[in-house]
Structure 1
Amino acid sequence: MPVCFMIMPYGRKATQSETGYGPAEIDFNALWDRGYVPTIKALGYEPVRADQDNGGLIISQMLERLYFADLVLADMTIANGNVYYEVGIRHAAQKAGCVLLAADWSKQLFDVAQLRTVRYPLPEGNITDDTAAAFQAKIKNGIASLRDGISPMHQSLPGYPANVDPTKATTTREQLAKLAAFQTRVRAVRAAPAKTRMQLAEILVASEGNPPENYPIALALLLLLRDSVDTPADWNVVLDFVRKLPSKFTDEPQIEENRAFAAAQAGNDVQAIAELEMLIEMTGPTPERLGLMGGRYKRLAKIARSDIEKKQNLAKAINCYERGMEIDLNGYYCSSNLPRLYRMRARPGDEERAQTTVRLTMAACERAMRLNVADEWQRLTLLAAAFDLRDPDKANEVADDVISEGQPSWKVNSVLVDLEVSVSQVSDTGQRTRLTAVIDKIKAG
């Protein structure tokens, strides 16, 4: 009987999905036993997966199974590193016979999100009889229809692995050389003095962005323009660039997120909220999207014309940030905004909530630094957390790092607003004086 090798997580795993978009955790062992095994057997294969009781397969055994299995199934519902790695090996090793599957509410990482995937219903994570039956009914035909599909590696490189057209390599080298030259020009703009950066960025856009040759160049130019902003009017330059992009680029979530952010910075918070709500409805919530939307409501609360309007927008901002924080506690963007908002709301228990979230933010930032996670907001977020913790020594230390990093002025100015709000909430005169001095140092730096 032909063999089907299953790539999937083991045991109960958290999904990090937002409430209402999927269960909090999944019993993958039950999904295997009650969902995958019966379906695989019904398709005429012998189901096999690595034995978690023996600590998993050693690398050579895993490679052998990925290569020799007649069919490989990969459950991509959660972002499991081992699963992604093994899918890549199978795509390179065999021309066909690899099928991706995922819950219908789940979101895959960018590269995999572009590949055909069998979607199945999974309303709860314990795998009841009804869930198992619906699961089996959905995936059986999907697996049968996709199992003979060509892997992206073999599809992109005809003749792979032994007879690839050598002219393909020449073309690729030329493309890489062109991309390297483009990235060098981007780095040169980023290294320029802040006052000249936007002008230089616009010159680069004029030569490379009418329209950009591909999506990576489009995104790189957008981020360069965003980070070169020096005056409020510069945000209209960012928006104008996005408006001129081909629809195949503007429909990408990261482009849409930055367009909404730029619209908000240009003064249209309501438009930004509408765009973010549409993006969440179409492709699901993420901490970044909910954080961006929370920021818009935070600004609307600040400029509200009545106490009722202020309270309504403050409540919406807190709700967005809390939802974003719950998706991923390591995604400190949302949690970092909550301490000041809790103190502003001042309900019973809000000070305790502020203390909890600020310590969570600091722990997440410091963890990311230890793991060398690249994030342009790390130091700035840690700085705001030090203020919210009312720790002048820590704030002064992190401020020196922020100044030496040379962050774009709009980012520093954005954080300065939060720092001033944080200082206004400090009752101790000595702490307030020392924290104010840190703000003055940042402004002077």
Structure 2
Amino acid sequence: MPVCFMIMPYGTKPTQAEPGRGPAEIDFNALWDRGYVPTIKALGYEPIRADQDTGAMIASQMLERIYFADLVLADMTIPNGNVYYEVGIRHASQQTGCVLLAADWSKPLFDVAQMRTIRYPLSEGSITEHTAKAFRAAIGDSITMLRDGSSPMHQSIPGYPDKVDPAKATIMRNQLAELADFQTRIRTVRAALPNERMNAAQELIAREGNPPTTYPKAIALVMLLRDVADTAADWTIVLDFVRSLPAKFADQPEMKENRAFAAAQIGNEQQAIGEIETLIELAGPTPERLGLMGGRYKRLAKTAGSDAEKRQALAKAIDCYERGMELDLNAYFCSGNLPRLYRTRARAGDEERAQTTLRLVIAACERARRLNVADEWLRPTLLAAAFDLGEADKADELADQVIDEGQSKWKVASVLGDLEASVAQTKDAEKRARLSAVIERIKAA
């Protein structure tokens, strides 16, 4: 009997699905036993999964199973590193016989999202008989339809693996050399004096062609513009460039994220919120996206025309930041904004929430420091946390570093309003005076 090798997570795993869009966790062992095994057998294959192999599943054995299996099924519902790696091996080693599957609410990572995937219903994660029946009905015929399709490697490279046209290889090497030259020009612009970078970036865009010929060039130019932008006029240039791109580039998730970010920088909060909501709907939530949207609502709360509008915007800002924090406790961008918002809301328990969140922020920042994480927001987050905690000595120490290293490295222009808000929320008069003096020192620098 032909063999079907199953690539999937084992045991019960969290999904990180948004509330109401999917279960919080999935029992993948139950999904295997009640869903996949009956389906695979009905298709005429012997079902095998790595953890049920009789010997130790070392790397060489895993590679053998992936290569020699008549059919490979891969469940991509959650972003599991082993699953993605093993799918890549099968795509590179065999032309056919690899089928991707995922729950209908899941958000696969960017590259895999472009590949044909069988979607199945999965409203709960314990896999009741009703769920298993609907699952089996959704995937059986679809597997038969997709199992003979060519892998992305074989589709993209004619003659792969041993009959590749040498002329095409030469063309690709020339393209890579051209890309290396382009990246050198990008680095040259970044190395220019700060007041010259935006003009240099625009000159580079004019030389490269507008629009750029490839997506890697397009996203590289957008990131360059974003990194050198300073004023509202600069951010308008970023937004106009993204809007000028062809739909095949502009519709990619990272382009939409940058378009929303640029819109936010020029004060178009509603447009930015709409962009981010659409992006989350299409590509799923991330701490960065939820943090960006939380920031837009935070600004709306400051400029609200009525108390009711302010309360609504504040509630939405807190909700976005909380959801972002829950996705990744180490992503301190979201949690770092919450203490001041809790104190502004001032409900019962909000001060305790602020203190708990501050401990999380400090722990995440210290972890990032130990791991030498290259994050431009690490310094300003630590500075804001010192103010939120009312630790004047620590704030004074960090102010020395701001003066030594420069305001731009500490993003003083971006966090100054938050520091002043923290001072206003400090009840102890002596601490409030000392923190105010630290702000004046930072401004004077």
Aligned counterpart, 1:94: 94
Q: Displacement of 1:232 after TM fit?
A: 1.8
Instruction: List alignment gaps of at least 5 residues for structure 1.
Output: none
1:244-323 equivalences under 5 Å are 244-323=244-323
Higher RCO (CA-CA < 8 Å; seq separation 6+): 1
Greater alpha carbon shift after TM alignment, 322-331 vs 17-26: 322-331
User: Residue 415 of structure 1: CA displacement?
Assistant: 2.2
Q: Using the alignment, how far apart are the partners of 1:186 and 1:287 within structure 2?
A: 28
Letter of the 1:2 counterpart: P
Q: Deviations over 1:165-208 (max 9, x none)?
A: 22222112211111111112222222222222211111112222
2:155 aligns with: 155
Deviation (angstroms), 1:73: 0.9
Q: 1:287 to 1:160 in 2, by over 3 A?
A: same
Give, in whole Å, the separation in 1 of the partners of 2:101 and 2:337.
Answer: 36
Distance across 1 between alignment mates of 2:161 and 2:398:
51
**SS of corresponding position for 2:13:** strand
Answer with 84-93 or 305-314: which moved more.
305-314
Identity score, percent: 73
Which residue is equivalent to 1:140? 140
Greater Cα shift, 191-200 or 340-349: 191-200
Alpha-carbon distance, 1:410 to partner: 10
What's the offset of the Cα at 1:382? 3.4
Counterparts of residues 5-404 of structure 1 (less than 5 Å): 5-51=5-51, 57-371=57-371, 373-392=373-392, 394-395=394-395
Contact 1:6/1:72 (8 A) holds in 2: yes
Whole-angstrom CA distance in 2 between matches of 1:65 and 1:392: 61
SS of aligned partner of 1:74: strand
TM-score scaled by structure 1? 0.92
Q: Is the 8 A contact 1:95 1:154 kept in 2?
A: yes
Measured at CA, do residues 371 and 153 of structure 1 come closer, stay the same or move farther in structure 2, by a change above 3 Å? farther
What's the offset of the Cα at 1:56? 6.2
The answer to which of 33-42 and 385-394 deviates more is: 385-394
CA–CA distance in structure 1, aligned partners of residues 213 and 328 of structure 2: 34
Quote how far apart the aligned CAs of 1:408 are.
5.7
* Contact 2:376/2:409 (<8 A) preserved: no
Matched-pair contact (CA < 8 Å) for 1:194–1:408 = no
User: What amino acid maps onto 1:119 in structure 2?
Assistant: R
- Give the aligned partner of residue 4 of structure 1: 4
**DSSP 3-state at the match of 2:337:** helix
Distance (Å, rounded) in 2 between the aligned partners of 1:423 and 1:183: 44
> What is the distance in 1 between the residues matched to 2:172 and 2:400?
43
Question: 1:47 & 1:76 partners in 2: Cα distance?
Answer: 18
1:282-309, Cα deviation, whole Å (9 max, x unpaired): 4433322222221111101111222222
Measured against aligned partners, the alpha-carbon deviations of 1:197-222 in whole angstroms (never above 9, x if no partner) come to 21111111222250112112111111
CA distance, structure 2, for counterparts of residue 298 and residue 289 of structure 1: 14
For residue 193 of structure 2, what is the amino acid of its counterpart?
P
Question: Equivalents in 2 of 1:53, 1:164: separation in Å?
Answer: 36
Q: Deviations over 1:220-240 (max 9, x none)?
A: 111211121122221111111
CA shift digits 1:225-272 (9 cap, x unpaired): 112112222111111111211111111111112212211221211222
Residues 1:108 and 1:440: Cα distance change in structure 2 (over 3 Å): farther
Q: Shift of residue 370 of structure 1? A: 4.3
Measured on the aligned residues, the alpha-carbon RMSD in Å equals 2.5
TM-score (norm 2): 0.92
Which amino acid letter does the alignment assign opposite residue 148 of structure 1?
A: D
Q: In the TM superposition, what is the alpha-carbon distance from 1:432 to its structure 2 partner?
A: 3.9
Q: What secondary structure sits across from 1:233 in the alignment?
A: helix
Give the Cα–Cα distance (whole angstroms) in 1 for the partners of residues 200 and 406 of structure 2: 18
Partner SS, residue 48 of structure 1: strand
Taking the aligned partners of 2:200 and 2:408, their CA distance within structure 1 comes to 15
Are the equivalent residues in 1 in contact too, given 2:96–2:150 (CA < 8 A)? yes
Residue ranges of structure 2 left out of the alignment (5+ in a row): none
**Following the alignment from structure 1 to structure 2, what is the Cα–Cα distance between the partners of residues 321 and 54?**
47
SS in 1 for 2:100: strand
Cα shift readout 1:66-124 (whole Å, capped 9, x = no counterpart): 11111111111111111111111111111111111111111111111111111111111
- Tell me, in whole angstroms, the C-alpha distance in 1 between the residues paired with 2:402 and 2:122: 45
Confirm or deny: 8 A CA contact 1:209 1:218 kept in the other structure: no
Q: Distance in 2 between matches of 1:397 and 1:88?
A: 49
Query: Residue 82 of structure 2 aligns to a residue in which SS?
Result: helix
Q: Residue 347 of structure 2: SS of its match in structure 1? A: coil
Residue identity matched to 1:331: A
Q: Distance in 2 between matches of 1:381 and 1:109?
A: 28
Letter in 2 for 1:180: A
Partners of 1:216 and 1:163 in 2: how far apart?
27
Distance 1:312 1:94, change over 3 A: same
Aligned residue pairs total: 445
The CA distance in 1 between the partners of 2:14 and 2:118, in whole Å, is 21
